Amino acid sequence: MRIMSRPEPGTRGAGRESAVRVEDVAVRFRSRRRDVTALRDVSLDVAMGEFVAIVGPSGCGKSTLLKLVAGLLKPSSGTVRLRGEDVAGPRHDIGYVFQRAALLEWRSARRNILLQAEMRRMPSGRARERTAELIAMTGLTGFEDALPHELSGGMQQRVALCRALLHEPPVLLMDEPFGALDALTREQLNIEMNRIWRETGTTVLLVTHSVAEAAYLANRVVVMSDRPGTVAEVIDVGLPAERDYAETMARPEFARVTNRVRTLLGAGAAAD
Amino acid sequence: MVSQGTTTATPETDAAGVVERGRPGAGERLAGVLERTWRPVALLAACFAAWWAITAFKLVEAYLVPSPGATLRLLGDKWGYIWHHTWVTTYETLLGFAIAVVVGVAAAVVMVYSRTVERTLYPVLLFAQVIPKIAIAPLFVVWLGFGIGPKIVVAVLIAFFPVVISMVAGLKAVDPEMLELSATMGASPMATFTKIRLPASLPHLFSGLKVAVTLAVTGAVVGEFVGANQGLGYVILQANGNLDTPMLFAGLLVMSAIGVVLFVAVEVAEKLLLPWHASRRGGSVTTTY
């Protein structure tokens, strides 16, 4: 598996390059009856190669924030920059994973992954090679020719992840990608996600409801508050990039981060 | 797991694998076909038996309801005559159906991509649908004569609506997240249409096609009723005029047979074109942990 040139994952400091820069962003949705402010005064800076998790109560605009970065949505005010460029319209230098795998039912796992290549008109030889790499990396070997309805939820989400990584995007946006999975599968995919992030060196923005998932995977955890959504606090996790699951869970840093996040969210919201 | 109840576990979506049941053998498959078909076949047989009983016990005069035997004998004796008219009606039906599909799908695509066109066309479509076809059919005879024209027009008019409605529903049923993904892939509108929207709409389209093809038969026969010198509609009118009830019943039987055969043909086409959809409904393959 090819590793992109990049700084050590999560190293931050002077002179670092910004992957995502969100400044004073507000999003208001106008409906006939009332105006809804989804986001207000949101600022966020994500370094190249960094893993940032965004947690917050339901409806706090976490998904809206990802869509802004992807250029699928325009902010009502403020600026969004991706890799130094203003985001104006859908960006192609990202990979996107949704909570539902959103696979094409008539395509096999392999051909679902290759959709990314077909749409981008990537050379087919290169695309096939890369698909094979990703299938091996995500443990999909043996399921290449299965149709989505023949795959379990975890397997479907692996296919969606491969599709999002096929073109080696510098930035990966994940919107509650493991939210619909059972606890064991989720844990397994968290471990794989940590490895994939280290191997690809891609910048990851992960929206999640799980405090543990956020603390295990991320360099920094952005805690958002509700109505209108805004950044309550950004917490440095301060753990090495390579993380053993059980060992990480037992570390004091992990407990410190999850406790802080839960305090910010309030006991009820954390179990949301 | 320390995820604090944030996961929603669904029993059927788990990690590992696919379990494929072995393909059924010939005997098993035959048993499956029998299992599925014996009930409707039995019901049909019961209807025939009732028909036979009514005539055999002279519950109704023979000139009003001919016996099944007399009807089948007539079908055999006059096969050349009936076959000719059957072919005419089938031809009109298929041509009308084909035109309805092409025009209907095209209209649906345009309507889905343009709200203005949708708003403009929908009332017109609805109007064309609610007009009783039997009432305007004579008008088409006045305009187009006694040839094949009016029959095809009526068949198209009657079959068109379910095609448009199902195709519009299909094109709109596409997963919005799929379209967002497509946007992040830099896909052209054409590629998004051919690779995502069109295939996703086909299951809906096919349910519309099944309705449309049976309606097209009705359309062709209605067209024949108002003015024709061939076709099963003409045969039935002639038989009616001559009080030739065996011929009337024979015409009805053949007409129903055309509808059933065309319906099955559309179902077969659906299974061949959309194997993923058929297997999904059939549930022949399951996922386990």
In a domain, A141, yes or no: yes
Evaluate if residue A243 carries a pLDDT over 60: yes
Look-up: residue for tokens 């509108």? Answer: B189
What is the Cα–Cα distance from A179 to A207, expressed in whole angstroms? 10
Q: What is the pLDDT of residue B278?
A: 66
- Are A82 and A188 within one domain? yes
Evaluate if residue A271 carries a pLDDT over 70: no
Question: Considering only CB atoms, which chain B residues are within 8 Å of A153?
Answer: 10, 12-14
Q: What is the pLDDT of residue B169?
A: 93
Name the domain count of chain A: 2
Give B 136-195 residues with CB within 8 A of chain A: 175, 177-178, 180-187, 191-192, 195
Task: Find the CB nearest A150 among B5, B18, B289.
Answer: B18
- Are A225 and A146 within one domain? no
In a domain, A216, yes or no: yes
- Are A164 and A177 within one domain? no
- Are A197 and A148 within one domain? no
- Are A201 and A85 within one domain? yes
Please indicate if any CB of chain B lies within 8 Å of the CB of A88: no
Q: State chain B's mean pLDDT as an integer.
A: 85
Domain containing residue A255: CATH number = 3.40.50.300
- Are A133 and A185 within one domain? no
- Are A135 and A195 within one domain? no
Q: What's the half-sphere exposure (Cβ side, CA atoms, 13 Å) at A229?
A: 25
Q: State chain A's mean pLDDT as an integer.
A: 85
Look-up: residue for tokens 């890799």? Answer: A83
Give A 230-259 residues with CB within 8 A of chain B: 249, 258
pLDDT band at B9 (very low <50, low <70, confident <90, very high): very low
Tokens of A27: 């999003």
Range of the domain at A154: 104-168
- Are A220 and A109 within one domain? no
Q: What is the pLDDT of residue A205?
A: 94
- Are A111 and A195 within one domain? no
Q: What is the pLDDT of residue A185?
A: 86
What is the Cα–Cα distance from B183 to B173, expressed in whole angstroms? 17
- Are A177 and A72 within one domain? yes
- Are A136 and A33 within one domain? no
Residue that is last in its domain, among A168, A190, A219: A168
**What is the helix (H) or strand (E) element at residue A235, kind and residue range?**
strand A230-236
Q: What is the pLDDT of residue B65?
A: 87
Least confident range from A260-269, B27-36, B172-181, B187-196: namely A260-269
In a domain, A71, yes or no: yes
Q: What is the pLDDT of residue A6?
A: 45
Write down the domain spans for chain B: 24-59, 63-277
pLDDT digits (tens, 9 = 90+) for B11-67: 443 344 444 445 567 777 788 888 888 888 899 899 989 999 988 888 888 888 888
**Cα–Cα distances in Å, from B285 out to A148, A192, B17, B159, B169?**
11, 27, 12, 35, 28
Query: A153: nearest CA in chain B?
Result: B13
pLDDT digits (tens, 9 = 90+) for A181-219: 888 889 888 998 999 899 888 999 999 989 999 999 999
Q: DSSP class of residue A77?
A: E
Question: Considering only CB atoms, which chain A residues are within 8 Å of B276?
Answer: 105-106, 147, 149
- Are A163 and A63 within one domain? no
CATH number assigned to the domain with residue range B63-277, chosen from the 4 options 3.20.20.80, 3.40.640.10, 1.10.3720.10, 3.30.950.10: 1.10.3720.10
In a domain, A9, yes or no: no
